[in-house]
Amino acid sequence: MAAQAAERRVWRNARLATLAEGAPGLAIVERGALAAESGRIAYVGPESEAPAAMLDGAEIVNCEGRWITPGLIDCHTHLVHAGDRAREFELRLAGASYEEIARAGGGILSSVKALRAASEENLVKESLPRLDALIKEGATTIEIKSGYGLDLANETKSLRAARKLADERPVAICATFLGAHALPPEMDGDKGRYIESVADEMIPAIARAGLADSVDGFCESIAFSPDEIARVFAAAKAHGLPVKLHADQLSNLGGAALAARFGALSADHLEYADEAGAAAMAAAGTVAVMLPGAYYFIRETQRPPIELFRRRGVKMAVATDCNPGTSPLTSLLLAMNLAATLFRMNVEECIAGVTREAARALGLQAETGTLEPGKRADLAIWDIERPAELVYRLGFNPLHARVWRGQ
């Protein structure tokens, strides 16, 4: 029966970068085959060793020697937002200061204003082109944060829009509540009162509605202090939600160690992280998420301590940080190139960073991020001769096909 045949698919004559957990490098299989059944990987390995029964009645795809990697994962985005900040970009190029930009209606609060004015339906519509750009490069799982609503109604609107994107496209979406992103204007500078509403009102309501998979915060002098973030994290934990943190991006407030203390899935940015922070992250298994798009766009000069993370055995992911203010980036391929050229991450680290380690940063390592039996059959098939090409080129997309849950 045709329907049954479609249930099982085999990709043969492929070169596989499996990224298998615990294996060295990209865990490559030359002359490989991969079988999917009911959306999960049933076999992955040398074609010559594939069980004959696997081919029986399956739909066979000849990959003609192309490379297959796990579907890409963007583990840090703010891609649900309204409007853009191109005008602010122009002003900055003309030499405007932060204050002048804020006075001209720019900055993060202009994105808050735009999001509050947008309907949920329009938010979805505006966000789809950004989502499609990621999908076109083989992304199969994408994390999306709120954080431009900054009150319960608008934060839930953002999270619902993020969830709805998964109905519009064949992609898995992880939604993250980032209420502690910025202080909304109506709070008149009262951070304590706002943090109280994030912890005592928003987190319980959002957890009850099942609208978020995790809780994030922005720990920085221009945002929230470690004590304020700790309050938010305690509430998240009390409601069974894992946490992650924008940490040590512009200065060192001990964000990496704070995240680790709460067993965070990830600490992100980390340009100013230090030895103590890296040690705490290693002990807690907190992933370091590298965001070279923001580093590049704001012309940061302090590089995150990659060598320190390597030495301490901290796992590193790479993501776009897609947001209108500091990283208007919708390409994981370019994010990898930036991580390599600006941060000196190697090819294997970059590719693992947008697959296996990105899955770990989302707590999804049992489900996706590698080509291993039992995991979701989320694949990217590439027209390349060697994996380094995925990192090496700028602005070229060699994706041949994307497979989501075996389809």
Q: Which residues bind ligand DI6 (CB under 6 A)?
A: 108, 111, 181, 218, 246, 249, 294, 323-326
Nearest CB to ligand DI6, comparing residues 165 and 223: 223
CB of 47 to ligand DI6, least distance (A): 45
What is the CA 199 to chain-centroid distance, rounded? 24
CB of 249 to Fe ion, least distance (A): 8
Contacts of 340 (CB under 8 A, 6+ apart): 346, 347, 350, 391
Nearest CB to ligand DI6, comparing residues 104 and 366: 104
Q: Which residue's C-beta sits nearest to ligand DI6?
A: 325
CB of 145 to Fe ion, least distance (A): 7
SS3 128: helix
The four Cα atoms 172, 175, 181, 186 give a dihedral, to 10 degrees, of 130
Nearest CB to ligand DI6, comparing residues 28 and 102: 102
- Identify the DSSP state of 28: E
CB of 289 to Fe ion, least distance (A): 9
The 10 Å Cβ neighbour count of residue 216 is 30
Residue 277 binds which of Fe ion, ligand DI6, none (CB < 5-8 A, kind-dependent): none
Side chain identity at 190, as an amino acid letter?
Answer: D
Q: What is the DSSP string of 54-95?
A: HHTTPEEEE-TT-EEEEPEEE--------S--HHHHHHHHTT
Residue 111 binds which of Fe ion, ligand DI6, none (CB < 5-8 A, kind-dependent): ligand DI6
CA 103-109-113 angle, to 5 degrees, is: 110
Interface residues toward Fe ion, by CB under 5 A: 321
Residue 108 binds which of Fe ion, ligand DI6, none (CB < 5-8 A, kind-dependent): ligand DI6
CB of 114 to ligand DI6, least distance (A): 11
Residue 324 binds which of ligand DI6, Fe ion, none (CB < 5-8 A, kind-dependent): ligand DI6
Residue 272 binds which of Fe ion, ligand DI6, none (CB < 5-8 A, kind-dependent): none
Nearest CB to ligand DI6, comparing residues 176 and 365: 176
Q: Which residue's C-beta sits nearest to Fe ion?
A: 321
Strand order in the sheet with 316-318: 244-247, 266-269, 287-290, 316-318
CB of 139 to ligand DI6, least distance (A): 20
CB of 78 to Fe ion, least distance (A): 6
Q: Which two tokens stand for residue 77?
A: 């985005």
Residue 183 binds which of Fe ion, ligand DI6, none (CB < 5-8 A, kind-dependent): none
Contacts of 45 (CB under 8 A, 6+ apart): 29, 32, 33
Contact predicate 147/111, CB 8 Å: no
Residue 66 binds which of Fe ion, ligand DI6, none (CB < 5-8 A, kind-dependent): none
Nearest CB to Fe ion, comparing residues 228 and 321: 321
Cα-Cα-Cα-Cα dihedral sign, residues 135, 137, 140, 142:
negative
CB of 180 to ligand DI6, least distance (A): 9
Q: Which two tokens stand for residue 353?
A: 């960073």
Nearest CB to Fe ion, comparing residues 321 and 378: 321
Q: Which residues of 46-79 are buried (b: 16+ CB within 10 A; e: fewer)?
A: ebeebeeeeeeebeebebeebbbbbbbbbbbbbb
Residue 252 binds which of ligand DI6, Fe ion, none (CB < 5-8 A, kind-dependent): none
Nearest CB to ligand DI6, comparing residues 10 and 294: 294
Residue 325 binds which of Fe ion, ligand DI6, none (CB < 5-8 A, kind-dependent): ligand DI6
Nearest CB to ligand DI6, comparing residues 294 and 399: 294
Nearest CB to ligand DI6, comparing residues 166 and 187: 187
CA 253/CA 256 separation, integer angstroms:
8
CB of 115 to Fe ion, least distance (A): 15
Contacts of 61 (CB under 8 A, 6+ apart): 9, 10, 11, 12
